[in-house]
């Protein structure tokens, strides 16, 4: 059985980047000239890979090399290099290689109603400029997860967004803000240092700070026409929305869709803004003027006004200062408004809680859509335990 002793310690070096390294040399006496290397390396007193240096505890053992003495063949020298530099864990068994992830900046383009300063993108008549978009800064996390077999459960989650809040690299992101994309599994597995096979699966997670919803203008070439009649055999006639609502019995009222026409009864080209009742309006109001201050809880859709009041216009574009991710504006639309405008509900839940923050509501009616599938990510490996 081979025996070992420390024969030289402390060959110290510092690299340009500040990383320090120390080399210790152990002398090993083999029981015979033909003793196997495996037996020699099992001699008691030798440090294990990954262990800390006895004097420089921040340095860990990263590599070793063994040399046989040229003159005395039973004597071997083991050079052990310790380093403070951050090393990868790829030389470990795949089960101990944690889910890893980096991050890079990215962006997506969304329809624009306001510029970066909050000014409405309208002409002097109040009409929104067509076809304008704005960049939303996003984050893309590139993730590597080592799997025993092909992870079909991850493939099934591809192109979905998170149903509940998730934590990535130590930061929590609210529901509906992260999208899983580009899941990639190699053609063949690879081997770890123990010879076991595993699949290094890679995928991207794109975090959108405003969520994966889209707001679109409420406009089109057709409008809704509300009609009533005086009896079952009477002709239908166009009427106001108020008269339609109060008409009884309900069999004497109906709603039809009709192309929008000019005063000369000519069909208008292009799309026209519609009000909350689906009827054409000649001039829309898009303003940067606050309607007051309001309070809303994180994850909540109910807003209570502290000062001022909400206009009783369900569908109107609303912007709440600080209620978006990390203090951004939260931009969505009104769903309901209480009588008097003291409170209301919004379509998309606030991402942050705010109290008595500025609220902007435009006369523009917008529609909000969620174009991504929502899924349970509780089983999805996320990079939170890097080396």
Mean pLDDT by 10 residues, the chain (387 residues): 85 84 92 89 88 86 90 92 75 71 88 72 72 86 91 94 93 92 92 82 93 85 93 93 93 93 76 84 70 94 95 89 89 92 93 93 84 93 75
Compute the Cα dihedral for 331, 336, 338, 343 and give only its sign. Answer: negative
DSSP state of 347: S
Provide the 3-class DSSP secondary structure of residue 334.
strand
Contact 273, 280 (CB under 8 A): yes
Distance, in Å, from the CA atom of 82 to the CA atom of 49, rounded to the nearest integer, reads 9
**Strand duo 160-162 + 373-375: pairing:** parallel
pTM (two decimals): 0.69
- Based on its alpha-carbon atoms, the radius of gyration of the chain, rounded to whole angstroms, reads 34
Please tell me the distance from the alpha carbon of residue 374 to that of residue 319, in angstroms, as a whole number: 24
Distance CA 233, CA 14 (A): 98
CA 361: distance to chain centroid? 27
Alpha helices by DSSP H, the chain: 37-41, 152-156, 241-246
The 10s digit of each residue's pLDDT in 139-169 is 999 999 988 888 899 999 999 999 999 999 9
CATH number of the domain located at residue range(s) 290-368 in this protein: 2.40.30
Q: How many CA atoms lie within 13 A of 9 on its CB side?
A: 7
Tens of pLDDT, residue by residue over 295-352, are: 999 989 999 999 999 988 888 889 999 998 888 889 899 999 999 999 999 998 998 9
The three-state secondary structure class of 270 is: coil
Residue 132 CB neighbour total at 10 angstroms: 11
Q: What is the DSSP letter of 348?
A: S
Residue 350 to residue 263: CA distance in whole angstroms: 43
Would you state the pLDDT for residue 228?
A: 95
Task: Pick the closest to residue 298 from 242, 345, 352 (CA basis).
Answer: 352
| In the chain, ranges of CATH 2.40.30 domains | 290-368
**Which residues fall within 8 angstroms of residue 86, CB to CB, at 6 or more apart?**
387
């Amino acid at each position: 059985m081979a025996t070992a002793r420390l024969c030289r310690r402390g060959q110290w070096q510092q690299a340009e980047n500040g990383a320090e390294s120390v080399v210790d040399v152990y002398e090993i006496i083999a029981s015979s000239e033909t003793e196997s290397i495996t037996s020699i390396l099992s001699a008691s007193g030798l440090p294990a890979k990954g262990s800390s240096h006895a004097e420089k505890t921040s340095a860990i053992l990263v590599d070793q090399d063994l040399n046989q003495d040229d003159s005395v063949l039973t004597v071997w020298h083991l050079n052990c290099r310790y380093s403070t530099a951050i090393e990868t864990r790829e030389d470990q068994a795949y089960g101990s290689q944690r889910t890893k992830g980096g991050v890079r900046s990215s962006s997506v383009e969304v329809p624009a109603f306001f510029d970066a300063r909050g000014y409405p993108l309208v002409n002097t008549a109040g009409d929104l400029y067509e076809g304008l978009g704005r960049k939303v800064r996003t984050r893309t996390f590139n993730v590597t997860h080592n799997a025993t077999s092909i992870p079909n459960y991850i493939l099934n989650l591809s192109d979905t967004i998170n149903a509940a809040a998730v934590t990535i690299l130590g930061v929590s992101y609210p529901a509906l803000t992260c999208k899983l994309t580009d899941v990639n599994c190699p053609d063949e597995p690879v081997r770890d240092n123990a010879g076991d096979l595993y699949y290094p699966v890679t995928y991207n997670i794109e975090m959108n700070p405003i969520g994966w919803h889209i707001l679109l203008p409420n406009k089109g070439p057709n409008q809704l026409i509300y009609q009533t009649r005086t009896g079952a055999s009477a002709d239908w006639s166009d009427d106001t929305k108020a008269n339609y609502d109060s008409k009884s019995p309900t069999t004497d009222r109906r709603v039809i869709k009709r192309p929008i026409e000019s005063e000369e009864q000519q069909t208008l080209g292009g799309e026209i803004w519609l009000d909350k009742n689906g009827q054409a309006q000649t001039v829309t109001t898009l303003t940067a003027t606050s309607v007051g201050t309001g309070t809303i809880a994180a994850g909540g859709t109910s807003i209570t006004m502290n000062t001022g009041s909400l206009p009783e216009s369900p569908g109107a574009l609303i912007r709440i200062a600080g209620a978006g991710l990390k203090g951004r504006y939260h931009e969505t639309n009104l769903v309901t408004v209480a009588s008097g405008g003291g409170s209301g509900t919004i379509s998309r839940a606030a991402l942050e809680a705010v109290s008595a923050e500025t609220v902007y509501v435009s006369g523009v009616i917008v529609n909000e859509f969620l174009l991504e599938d929502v899924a349970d990510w509780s089983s999805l490996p996320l990079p939170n335990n890097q080396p």
